[in-house]
A and B are shown apart, each in its own frame.
Chain A
């Protein structure tokens, strides 16, 4: 039985995706940040699939210390219950903020939650993904287009715009996927970025206020059900040979931003290593 780890799996796209994978017979591990929401999500899935293999771990992934703690727990669980293998890691967790807010480290929250959390968790789980010659999938967004990385002020402290921060964090998602492929595709690991499209979830109404909250309330009504993008994740995992593309929308490859270059990918990778205080292993290329 193949194991899939999904972050932000208690509502929206993450929950719908967890349900789809359970339906396909996968062993699903979800991560959420509230115990109540985790319990509720688990119950929902079990009521449709009483035999489901589903477990939730609780962590506030915005804080690096919490990512580390939950990674410790996952390592133990996966070693004991999943043959030490993760077939897919779906870095889906994400959030929106209305204002400049920082984490305990003083990192801007959208950057920390939407990018650094995934960067750190992938680092910790990579050995298990490697064991399964697995896949890493980021929930990106088409809004990563039309923006450049603000390298000189990555936390956007000098003139914060919530939408810019969100878009940049989504550009980070696809740059990270690109960097992973450059480093590890020869080892059988493959990374993807998925554009879910406009989806009717509450993402813009959580921990936000003012204009951001209002705009999202109007906008989300035009969104599709989260079950629609969930198909794309399953599609990418069900292919026997790993698809070669990078960016997918509705199970098809899609054109991505010109900012997605090897140079930018490496630059972000180095910066993220520094901000997380970690160093990804150089895997030996076996020819």
Chain B
């Protein structure tokens, strides 16, 4: 089983990579962070005796991706699985952000994901089953003030994946969209979860469990995967409210939580 993972050296990337390595899959890992890739490769080799190839690549750049693809083509690797994990998120109101960083969200979360998906689908193993995972977010289910661009970029992925799933059904490709709530991957993420108090805790997903379930599920059935009972309930209840009302509720809650968070940060 040959697996391609983007954003591999981040928290979720490392967890998915470890999950795949523990199953004996062969890994092709990419990320913009070369040092992180190298450490992860070493760790997976030592821990699981895994077969790992890494290549640092800025997937928002055509040339950088082309170089990586040339490397893949030179060795003739064909893939059975793709995890689109690379993505960024900046918090804050639209106008307080630099335009560049807002646009960057779309170029990584959307454009780069399309670029990689196209490239790796074209290099899938012939006549085999293929598993394709998009890491979207619970944020993709609603319009999200103060996370507007991020949520919309993830909305793109959720909808795109659902449509692509139909197109690829007959080609033996399964498409899974993962929509996690909070993931405790960084110190920052953890203080963010803490700042949201009770709701932060209940919407937080366990990383190792999400990694396990995602790898399991994409090989069995396709569709939407929302980990955690609280998150599933929220998303279900959300269907009954008009989107404008949801946006207003979220704005109220978030601006409060953010104030609290900024206060504790500056302490």
Contacts and interface: CB of A to CB of B under 8 A. Distances in A.
B124 interface: no
Contacts of B204: 99, 209-210
Interface string A148-164: 00000001111110000
B40 A104 contact: yes
B11 interface: yes
Q: How large is the interface on A (under 10, 10 to 19, 20 to 34, 35 or more residues)?
A: 20 to 34
B85 interface: no
A106 B19 contact: no
Interface string B49-76: 0000000000000000000000000000
Interface in A207-243: 207-210, 213
Contacts of A156: 208
Contacts, number: 83
Contacts of A213: 194
A250 to B, nearest CB: 35
B244 to A, nearest CB: 32
Contact of B184 (A103, A104, A209): A209
Contact of B18 (A63, A98, A157): A157
B11 A98 contact: no
Given A98-B184, A102-B14, A274 B46 contact: yes
Secondary structure call for the B interface: helix
Contact of A157 (B19, B193, B194): B19
Contacts of B9: 104
A1 B18 CA distance: 47
A272 B192 CA distance: 33
Contact of B206 (A99, A207, A274): A99
A102 B187 CA distance: 12
Nearest to B193: A209
Contact of A100 (B35, B187, B208): B208
20 contacts: A65-B39, A98-B184, A99-B184, A100-B206, A102-B11, A102-B18, A104-B9, A105-B42, A105-B43, A105-B46, A106-B40, A156-B208, A157-B18, A157-B211, A157-B212, A160-B206, A207-B187, A209-B200, A210-B204, A275-B47
